[in-house]
Amino acid sequence: MTALIAGRGVLPAHLARALAAQRTRFVIAQVEGFTMDNPEGWPIETFAVERLALLFDRLHELGVTRVAFAGAVTRTRLDPERIDLKTAMLLPRILPALAQGDDATLRAVIALFEDEGFAVLGAADLAPDLLPAEGVLTRAQPGPADAGDAARAADIVAALGAADVGQGAVVAQGLCLAVETLPGTDAMLAWVADVAGACRPDPKGAGGVFYKAPKPGQDRRVDLPAIGPATIEAAHRAGLAGVVIEAGGVMVLDPAATRARADELGVFLWVRSP
């Protein structure tokens, strides 16, 4: 049996549909306080991070052998009064990682699940359709200036990722207008739309691109970046010409709807080789 460790967003339900289509038994364990989109009304078991060891016990009881992490979860303050004795014994392995950043925290969490005997899979292992093939997926096509902006953005994101800062950047006419930090992609693109868009040297020049990729050395079984129709809409509001994602490293949620929305808005979607 497979367990989906679920956070916010559409990804957990997408994986649930994929597992159901494969006739694979699964359970959804949702992190308390992070509600997933659940149009099908899949049964959900909710757990608290402060009682992680109890989740392990429950998954073993259900016969779970594989787990996959899906959906957005942000770090929250632990409530000491809720921590059970078994979970308290795990904290010396988690707390130092929390101080080191997201990557270290995720690696620590993966290690805990693996030590409990669970095989940790990536979302793309369960639903390979989430990773599109390399190429331009839309009617709109990137030009030479867009290719230059994408290359510049890729360099910036690689540098950001090495410092465990973010997975995205906006570059227009060779200038970095914004980088993704803790508030996330939506906040960054909204800021470009409201403020940074006016910083383009030539108002009639290239509109710029939003580039997204995993962090260098990131364990791609968890926190793999994703885009969807809302990303396309936000990029369009920011005046960008297109969205560029690293091939094999960024998931496209609801691919058909994402491509259709990009075509409607005249925004290109380019799956670029790293």
Tens-digit pLDDT string for the chain (274 aa): 999 999 998 999 999 999 999 999 999 999 998 999 999 999 999 999 889 899 999 999 999 999 999 988 876 777 888 888 888 888 888 777 666 666 677 788 889 999 999 999 999 999 999 999 999 999 999 999 999 999 999 999 999 887 878 899 999 999 999 999 888 899 999 999 998 777 888 888 889 999 999 988 778 888 789 999 999 999 999 999 999 999 999 999 989 999 999 999 999 999 999 8
Which CATH number does 2-126 carry?
A: 3.40.50.20
Rounded to the nearest 5°, which phi and psi values hold at 269?
A: -125, 115
Q: Which two structure tokens, joined as six digits, stand for 155?
A: 């360099």
The beta strands (E) that lie in 7-51 are given as 26-31, 44-47
Contacts with 58 (C-beta within 8 Å, 6 or more apart), sequence order: 29, 45, 47
Taking the C-alpha atoms of residue 192 and residue 185, their distance in angstroms, rounded to an integer, is 11
> Taking the alpha carbons of 184, 189, 190, 196 in that order, is the dihedral positive or negative?
positive
The amino acid sitting at 263 is: D
Query: If we measure between CA atoms, which residue out of 61, 146, 165 comes closest to residue 103?
Result: 165
Domain segments of the chain as ranges: 2-126, 131-272
Task: Give the global pTM.
Answer: 0.85
The confidence score (pLDDT) of residue 228 equals 94
Q: Which two structure tokens, joined as six digits, stand for 12?
A: 């957990």
The confidence score (pLDDT) of residue 72 equals 83
Pairing assessment for the beta strands 168-172 and 209-212 based on DSSP bridges: antiparallel
Which CATH number does 131-272 carry?
A: 3.40.140.80
Taking the C-alpha atoms of residue 191 and residue 123, their distance in angstroms, rounded to an integer, is 30
The confidence score (pLDDT) of residue 45 equals 93
Give bridge partners of residue 66 from the DSSP assignment. 2, 119
